[in-house]
Amino acid sequence: MAIVSEPIELTVDDQSIAGTLLSPSPKLPGILFVHGWGGSQQRDLGRAKGITGLGCVCLTFDLRGHARTESQRQTVNREQNLKDVLTAYDRLVSHPDVDPNSIAVVGSSYGGYLAALLTAQRKVRWLALRVPALYWDKEWDVPKSALNREGLAHYRRTVLTPADNRALAACAEFAGDVLLVESEHDDYVPHTTLMSYRSAFVGAHSLTHRIVDGSDHALTSEACQKAYSSILTNWISEMVIGSRLENYPHHSAVYS
């Protein structure tokens, strides 16, 4: 959060001396959560409540084709779901307490892919991607559920660059701070995909890569859920909350 600096004049013995009044910005960081395919906002709500307690405004939502609109599961496509994310982002930024220059996006799996695409169209300062999936650029308007699963599995095992994929191209242009979280035993998003994302963030201010030991794609066990929550909350605290105490950018760092 930025510090507001206001020049003032102090009158002493009929003379004027200069001063500067510093105060914390009244605006709060905003955090947008984007769930994965087949999920809902319910899993995000617990983490969002904890992070809201740190002094952030959080927004969770259900992508079309999920929860109340599950009847659209077989017809919704990636373009429509990206519009969902853009609409949610705009709603968050419009909140009177949110600092539009301090927005974090937290995306999981399909939601991580959409979050990466979002950064090409909206201003994002912090980007947290848990097991972000990759999809080929073709068939953009085809229902997401109709995409060939075996073909996608092969695609994700292929080393890809920003020239090969629009989500990775967006990552290459991203200049903020990044958290990548990988599951050790992921059957859907392999290590190769995480490395394609990691390699794409050539302009990131900082990059943190964490692996949840013993976890599957969905973080099925309660222990893995807690481990991810701890990773995310600690990173949010360092990046988002820590920025309030600084009147200058924090040092870049790469962790592995």
In a domain, 161, yes or no: yes
- Per the CB < 8 A criterion, the answer to whether 179 and 232 are in contact is yes
- Per the CB < 8 A criterion, the answer to whether 33 and 41 are in contact is yes
Specify the pLDDT at position 2: 60
In a domain, 20, yes or no: no
Distance CA 48, CA 37 (A): 19
Specify the pLDDT at position 5: 79
Compute the mean pLDDT over every residue in the chain, rounded to the nearest whole number. 91
The phi, psi pair for 112, rounded to 5°, reads: -70, -40
Distance CA 183, CA 194 (A): 10
The phi, psi pair for 7, rounded to 5°, reads: -70, 135
Distance CA 187, CA 256 (A): 21
List pLDDT tens digits, range 129-149.
999 999 999 999 999 999 999
Q: Which residues of the chain have pLDDT under 50?
A: 1, 247-256
DSSP state of 241: I
Q: Cα 68 to the chain's mean position, in Å?
A: 24
User: In the structure encoding, which two tokens stand for residue 234, read together?
Assistant: 């600690």
In a domain, 61, yes or no: yes
List pLDDT tens digits, range 35-61.
999 999 998 999 999 999 888 999 999
DSSP state of 69: G
In a domain, 182, yes or no: yes
Distance CA 207, CA 198 (A): 8
In a domain, 7, yes or no: no
Q: Which CATH number do you get for residue 32?
A: 3.40.50.1820
In a domain, 229, yes or no: yes
What is the CB neighbour count within 10 angstroms for residue 151? 11
Q: What's the full length of the chain, in residues?
A: 256
Distance CA 108, CA 37 (A): 9
Q: What stretch of H or E contains 124? A: none
Q: Cα 206 to the chain's mean position, in Å?
A: 14
Domain that holds residue 64: 27-255
User: In the structure encoding, which two tokens stand for residue 213, read together?
Assistant: 């030991």
Specify the pLDDT at position 21: 83
In a domain, 129, yes or no: yes
Would you say the C-alpha torsion 254, 100, 237, 59 has a positive or negative sign?
A: negative
Distance CA 135, CA 78 (A): 10
- Per the CB < 8 A criterion, the answer to whether 82 and 123 are in contact is no
In 3D, which of 35, 27, 86 has the Cα closest to residue 61?
35
Q: What is the domain count for the chain?
A: 1
In a domain, 175, yes or no: yes
Specify the pLDDT at position 19: 85
